[in-house]
Amino acid sequence: MWAVTVGVSVTGIPRGLRFRLLFFVFVLYCFAISTVFQTFLTSFLVDPGFESQLTSLDEILDSGIEFGCDEETNILFSLSSDLRHKEVVERAERCSNTEVCIDRIRETGNFATFASMWFVQYYKNITNDHSTVCLLNDDDYGIIFITTYVQQGSIFLELLNKFVALYTESGLGAKATRDSIFVPKPIRHNIDVSDGYFVFTLSHLRIAFYILFVGQGVSFLTFLCEVFYHLRLRYV
């Protein structure tokens, strides 16, 4: 029982059928308890106890959370034929600009807004606040297609298509997006424990690894001492 509890091998194989059955049940019990304990411990350390993150437009509409957008985004929703966008227009609050909506999210934590992902990332970098605003990662609320019209038979059509294709294939669009949200210097996040919750990362386990390495070093030195001691007794 002690060997199973600490997770090491037993010195002898169980011989009797009853003892083997009891041993097997005890192993399953220890495995189940260990799994449940690790799950709850990880949940306690990592999960802040809040509700799950909203990941789609449908979840935002069904949750009843307040949301808003600026006038330009509201016009895009008004021109859409999607019934969800019609509901957004009816329920959304008007913000003078996107920064106002994002600031309300940072202040209240009970608000949502619709904005371009690159702008939100850029604004988070400017305000040095990456913990209070999260992105809608499972759904895009809208896609905008940009078209350039030229006269039929224009000599610029082929040249324009060529440059657009080269621009897309070379990745300049993706680079422009990355440059718009690039942070020129590393940002250090201070751990806020005012609410009794902090993000559990590998740095919090640093002391455990230090103790592990020290223990391994002491064990190795002890092993060498025992080897040298027995060698000395053998040749003395």
Asked whether residue 18 falls in the same domain as residue 96, the answer is: no
**pTM beyond 0.95, yes or no:** no
Mean pLDDT across the stretch 21-33?
83
Q: Which residues contact 45 (CB under 8 A, 6 or more apart)?
A: 200
Look up the domain containing 208 and give its range: 201-236
pLDDT for 56-100, tens place per residue? 778 888 888 888 888 888 888 888 888 888 888 888 888 888 888
pLDDT digit string, tens, across residues 180-220: 665 544 444 444 444 445 556 677 678 878 888 998 899 89
Residue 52 lies inside a defined structural domain of this protein: no
Q: Which of 151, 180, 209 represents a domain boundary (last residue)?
A: 180
Tell whether 186 is covered by a domain: no
pLDDT of residue 189: 46
Q: For residue 95, tell me if it sits in a domain.
A: yes
Evaluate whether residue 170 is within a structural domain: yes
Domain count, the chain: 3
Say how far apart CA 68 and CA 76 lie, in whole Å.
Answer: 13
Q: Count CB-CB contacts under 10 A for residue 141.
A: 19
Percentage of the chain lying above the pLDDT 70 cut: 78
207 shares a domain with 163: no
Residue 142 predicted with pLDDT over 70: no
Structure-token pair, residue 145? 């297609």
Q: In this structure, is the dihedral angle defined by the CA atoms of residues 29, 35, 38 and 40, taken in order, positive or negative?
A: negative
User: Per residue in 117-137, is it b (16+ CB within 10 Å) or e — as a string?
Assistant: eeebbbbbbeeebeeebeebe
pLDDT at 136: 73
